[in-house]
């Protein structure tokens, strides 16, 4: 089934490119947009454009932010000597929701996945090593928490980073296995994440 309007079909095609959105859901979203007043649609369009125009990546931790460096990296209330390494900004936000972590972060931008053509050079791993090797005007990093997803890709990434950090005097830990194998941090509840952080293991 298709809409008789070419404009609506184009919108459906755009919605269908979003992660986890099939054509059936894309059609429902398009139908929802059609029912909304113009002002609401304009607000949504403005928000989408603002994300591309105003949001940037922090030059230190590579989280998405409106300012560089981001609030976490500039906060004197955060322990900058502990860095929690995550795959995506959504994982960072999941950990922040727990309210139990007060250190810094480093967003890799994914995980090593040869099948998908993603190698170490495609991630922000060398930037992480640089933060450990040359802290410049910041306190020396004492601990790296590998909060990558408990998956084959996450395990591969964790192992690779651990090997790179071996020459440095930094403790490398990993979240406890309270998180189910194959699940994503983004969808893990706050209580489980909090326990995983508290019971992290030395790699």
- Look at residue 179 in the predicted model and tell me its pLDDT: 62
| Residue 48 forms part of a structural domain | yes
Q: Are residues 196 and 161 in the same domain?
A: yes
What is the domain count for the chain? 2
Structural domain including 46 reads: 6-54
Polymer length in residues for the chain: 203
- Look at residue 184 in the predicted model and tell me its pLDDT: 77
Instruction: Supply the CATH number for residue 41's domain.
Output: 1.10.8.420
CA atoms within 13 A on the CB side of 46: 6
Q: Are residues 136 and 186 in the same domain?
A: yes
- Look at residue 194 in the predicted model and tell me its pLDDT: 78
- Look at residue 192 in the predicted model and tell me its pLDDT: 74
- Look at residue 36 in the predicted model and tell me its pLDDT: 96
| Residue 64 forms part of a structural domain | no
Q: Are residues 74 and 143 in the same domain?
A: yes
- Look at residue 197 in the predicted model and tell me its pLDDT: 79
The answer to whether 144 and 172 have CB atoms below 8 angstroms apart is: yes
* DSSP H helices in 117-200: 125-133, 152-165, 190-198
Q: Are residues 138 and 181 in the same domain?
A: yes
Q: Are residues 111 and 183 in the same domain?
A: yes
For the chain, list the strands marked E by DSSP. 56-57, 64-65, 79-86, 103-107, 143-146, 171-174, 201-202
| Residue 61 forms part of a structural domain | no
User: What b/e readout covers 127-138, taking b as 16+ CB neighbours within 10 angstroms?
Assistant: bbbebbeeeeee
Instruction: Supply the CATH number for residue 191's domain.
Output: 3.40.1360.10
User: What b/e readout covers 109-123, taking b as 16+ CB neighbours within 10 angstroms?
Assistant: bbbbbeeeebeeeeb
Query: Could you read off the pLDDT tens digit of each residue along the chain, which spans 203 residues?
Result: 555 789 999 999 999 999 899 999 999 999 999 999 999 999 999 999 998 888 899 999 999 999 999 999 999 999 999 999 999 999 999 999 989 899 999 999 999 999 999 999 999 999 999 999 976 667 789 999 999 988 889 999 999 999 999 999 899 999 876 666 667 777 777 877 777 777 776 77
**Angle, CA 154 vertex, CA 147 and CA 198 arms, to 5°:** 25
What is the rounded distance in angstroms from the CA atom of residue 156 to the CA atom of residue 49? 36
Q: Are residues 17 and 50 in the same domain?
A: yes
Q: Are residues 31 and 78 in the same domain?
A: no
| Residue 1 forms part of a structural domain | no
pTM recorded for the entire structure: 0.74
């Amino acid at each position: 089934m298709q809409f008789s309007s070419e404009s609506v079909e184009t919108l459906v095609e755009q919605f269908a490119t979003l992660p986890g959105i099939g054509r059936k859901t894309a059609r429902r979203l398009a139908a929802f947009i059609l029912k909304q007043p113009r002002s609401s649609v304009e607000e949504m369009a403005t928000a989408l454009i603002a994300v591309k125009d105003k949001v940037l990546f922090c030059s230190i931790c590579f989280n998405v932010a409106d300012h560089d460096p981001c609030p976490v990296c500039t906060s004197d209330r955060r322990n900058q000597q502990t860095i929690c390494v995550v795959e995506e900004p959504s994982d960072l936000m999941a950990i922040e929701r727990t309210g139990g972590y007060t250190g810094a972060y480093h967003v890799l931008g994914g995980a090593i996945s040869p099948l998908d053509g993603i190698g170490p050079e495609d991630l922000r791993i060398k930037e992480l090593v640089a933060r450990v090797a040359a802290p410049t005007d910041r306190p020396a990093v004492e601990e790296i928490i590998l909060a990558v997803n408990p998956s084959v890709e996450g395990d591969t990434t964790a192992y690779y980073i651990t090997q790179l950090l071996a020459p440095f005097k930094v403790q490398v830990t990993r979240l406890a296995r309270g998180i189910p194998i194959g699940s994503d941090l983004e969808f893990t509840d706050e209580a489980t994440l909090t326990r995983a952080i508290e019971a992290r293991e030395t790699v």
